[in-house]
Structures are given as structure tokens and as C-alpha cells.
Amino acid sequence: MGQNYESEMTIERIPFGRTGHESSRLLFGAAALGRVDQATADRTLEVLLRHGINHIDVAASYGDAELRVAPWLKREPNHFFVATKTGQRSKRPAREELQRSLDRLGVDHVDLWQLHNLADPIDWDTALSPGGVIEAAVEARNEGLVRFIGVTGHGAQIAANHRRSLERFDFDSVLLPYNFITMQLRYYEENFEALSATCRERNVAVQTIKSIALRPWQDRPRTANTWYEPLTDQRDIDLAVWWVLGRSGIFLNTAGDVNLLPKVLDAADRFEKRPGDEAMAELIRRSAQEPLFV
């Protein structure tokens, strides 16, 4: 059995929707492991355990991340709620990708299987229609290969899209961007709030991403393994993380770079209350923060 790290837990745990699992409010975004060696991954595990993180969010498309997580699951059995994702839209290839994920993770089931980045309208209709990935997901749930089914996405339309998805299928979780600057976009904010209300009514878990996004990379040199340029100063990360955690009942998925992880966890450790709008506006000015989506 794995070691007991509960006495060192510093980050709050709350129910992950209706799954019955108490997840740490910070979920480990395992995209950070896509291009690292196992030694680096194992050092990351130690960081997660020290902070009481007990939920891993990975995907079939995250490079070698599922392979890097596999030894953790053997070392720390039953410690982590394990979520992975499929980018397939049709039933048969999705089922094949699920089996590949199970093999790579070294498990006979995952806790949560998510339809990855379900944003394109044509993909959306294919995925949620007869013969789509949703049929593979329901069958896999019935067979005990997955326990719960979720949907994820990016972009300015995704909050509205998730609302449509919940009308089509009773998902157990959603995942989408959430940060101060994105929520200044009125269309996104209105749909995020409406989606959140539906999720509260149905007890659907709300996972958020892009908490420490600074701006698109554009032509600037890439200095982190994230698809957006991230905040890097601890003071700025503090404000961004605290703002997300200041909304009760939601989860924050950590950024996809192992070097940023300690800063995000440190900020969460010291969380007390949400910063006000003035502090967040000052962060935008000081950091030259820009919206990721328009």
C-alpha cells in the first residue's frame, strides 16, 4: 500500500459532483507530464502528495502522460481519482482509444472518461448522436470500464456549448476555462453563470482551466509547456489562483508545466479569500494580461 500523506494535506477537499469522491480543489493537470521523463514525473508525484492532491486529469492525447502516471497508480493504490479523455468522435475508435488508455495507465477502469474538447459543431453532433463516442462511453460505463462520463472544451463558445451538451446527455462533469479576464467577456460570463446554475441543480462537477493564463504566445519564444503564455511571478499567480478558488464549489486544474506546479500549489496553500476587482484589474495592467479568446 502507498504511504499515508493525509497529515500533510493543506488544500481543501470537496465533493466532486455526484461521484461520491472528495477531490482536492486543485486537480493535477497531467498534460504537464506529456514530455518529461519518469524521474521528473516521480518528483512531481512527491510534490502532489505533500499538498494532498488526490485527483489526476490526463488524456490519451497528452504525449506520454498516461505512461508516466501508471507507476504512480501502482505505488499509491486507491489514492487518486483518475480521469482521462478521448478525442475520438465515433463509437468504435473511441472504444479502441479507451482500451489503449487503460493499458497505458495499467488499470482495469478509470473513474472519469471525458469527451475531449467537444467544441466544433459537426464534431459535437457526431459525438452525441447514434454511433458516436457517447454510445461507447455508456457501454463502457455499463461494463465497469469507466465510472463516470464528462465533457471538456476550450474557447469563447464552450460555456454555451456545454449547456447544449447537458441538454443532450446527463454528463457527470464539465471542464472549461475560468479566469478573471475571460469572465469580463459578457457572452462568456452569461453562459458560464447559466452553466454553473445547471450544474448546481444536477450536482455536476465543474472543473476549470487556464487560471494562470497571461496571453496567447503569438510570436514570442515559448518558455513553458503550455499552449498559452502563463503568469510566472508568484505574486501574479497568487491573485489568479485565489480568484478562482474564491468561487465556492468549483475545481482548478493545474497548468500543463511541471515547473509552474509548485507555484500554483503554494498559492492554493495560502488561499484565504478572493481578491477584489481592483486587485485583479491591477494584475491585468501590471502583467499586460490579454484575453485568450475573443
Residues 40-92: tens digit of each pLDDT: 999 999 999 999 999 999 999 999 999 999 999 999 999 999 999 999 999 99
Across the range 212-223, mean pLDDT stands at: 93
With CA atoms as reference, report the closest residue to 24 among 47, 54, 50, 2. 54
pLDDT tens digit sequence for 166-186: 999 999 999 999 999 999 999
Across the range 211-219, mean pLDDT stands at: 94
Distances (CA, A) of 204 to 17, 156, 170, 263: 5, 21, 9, 28
Alpha-helix residue ranges (DSSP H) falling in the chain? 38-50, 65-75, 91-105, 121-127, 133-142, 158-168, 186-202, 234-245, 261-269, 277-287
d(CA 9, CA 42): 19
Which pLDDT does position 10 carry in this prediction? 77
pLDDT above 70 coverage of the chain, percent:
97
Contact in structure between 33 and 61 (CB atoms under 8 Å): no
Which pLDDT does position 59 carry in this prediction? 98
Q: Is the pLDDT of residue 2 over 90?
A: no
Q: Band of the pLDDT at 8, cuts 50, 70, 90?
A: low
Task: Report the DSSP beta bridge partners of residue 25.
Answer: none
Which pLDDT does position 137 carry in this prediction? 98
Q: Is the pLDDT of residue 5 over 50?
A: no
Mean of the per-residue pLDDT values for the chain?
A: 95
Distances (CA, A) of 120 to 115, 127, 154, 162: 12, 10, 10, 12
Query: 1-35: string of b/e by CB count within 10 Å (b at 16+)?
Result: eeeebeeeeebebeebbebebebbbbbbbbbbbbe
Question: Which cell numbers hold the place of 113?
Answer: 472518461
Angle subtended by helix axes 65-75 and 91-105, to nearest 10: 50
Which pLDDT does position 7 carry in this prediction? 38
Across the range 187-196, mean pLDDT stands at: 98
With CA atoms as reference, report the closest residue to 173 among 202, 194, 191, 151. 151
Q: Band of the pLDDT at 13, cuts 50, 70, 90?
A: very high
Q: Is the pLDDT of residue 294 over 80?
A: no
Q: Band of the pLDDT at 118, cuts 50, 70, 90?
A: very high
3 state DSSP class of 232: coil
Contact in structure between 82 and 110 (CB atoms under 8 Å): yes
pLDDT tens digit sequence for 232-250: 999 999 999 999 999 999 9
d(CA 186, CA 196): 15
Which pLDDT does position 9 carry in this prediction? 56
Q: Band of the pLDDT at 227, cuts 50, 70, 90?
A: confident
Ordered domains of the chain (ranges, CATH) = 6-287 (3.20.20.100)
